[in-house]
Amino acid sequence: MAHKDYVSRGRANKAPPPKPPLPWLRIVITLALFAGFAYFLWNINGSAKKTENSQPAPVKVKEQADALPKLPEEKWEFIEVLPNQTVEVDVPEQEDDGIRWLMQCGSFRQSQQAEEMRAKIAFAGLESQVRPSDGANGRWYRVILGPFERKREAEKQRHAIRRTGITTCQIWQWNLD
């Protein structure tokens, strides 16, 4: 097998490639655009001097001010009247019907779990109780808050407990006996 040396072989004598023809169309379009732009600048050259020398028509400021109607004076009575007013609201007296509201947050088989729940509620700043109850299923330890005179008070504390992450609290009408 013979080794071919392409470098020492030299170049073949080829004719140089022909030069591309001049792009006459591009040259003509460029010259036409340049001439048009020069004509445009020459044409607007004198117009700036004409506008500087010409004065706008004078505006009659006094006539415009007289043409507008005068603003009416505002008459607000509430500014003087409101500080002297009192609002009376009839709130019916709520009868004490003996209904008490309790909130139960958990019911556990082991007292240790109930005490853990009670500690979490204490971190929310609320006081709860662990009450054992015997039922058909054995002994349960309930974590309760209350009693509350109104359900609204119980709702307020339930929202405070929810902020700590405890979402199992339910409000019921209950008798502790």
What mean pLDDT do residues 24-47 have?
A: 91
- Quick: pLDDT tens for 63-109: 555 677 888 887 787 777 787 778 888 888 766 667 789 999 999 99
Please tell me whether residue 25 adopts helix, strand or coil conformation.
Answer: helix
Nearest to 176 by CA among 146, 138, 154: 146
Category of 10 on φ-ψ map: left (φ > 0), alpha (ψ -120 to 50) or beta? left
Instruction: Provide, for the chain, the percentages of residues in helix, strand and coil under a 3-state DSSP scheme, each rounded to the nearest 5.
Output: 40, 15, 45
- Quick: pLDDT tens for 117-157: 999 999 888 999 999 999 888 999 999 998 988 899 999 99
In whole angstroms, give the CA distance from residue 117 to residue 123.
10
CA dihedral 134, 136, 141, 146 (to 10 degrees): -80
Q: How confident is the prediction for the chain on average, in pLDDT?
A: 82
- Residue 13's pLDDT is what? 64
Report domain extents, the chain: 101-173
| CATH code reported for the domain at 101-173 | 3.30.70.1070
Instruction: Flag whether the pTM goes above 0.75.
Output: no
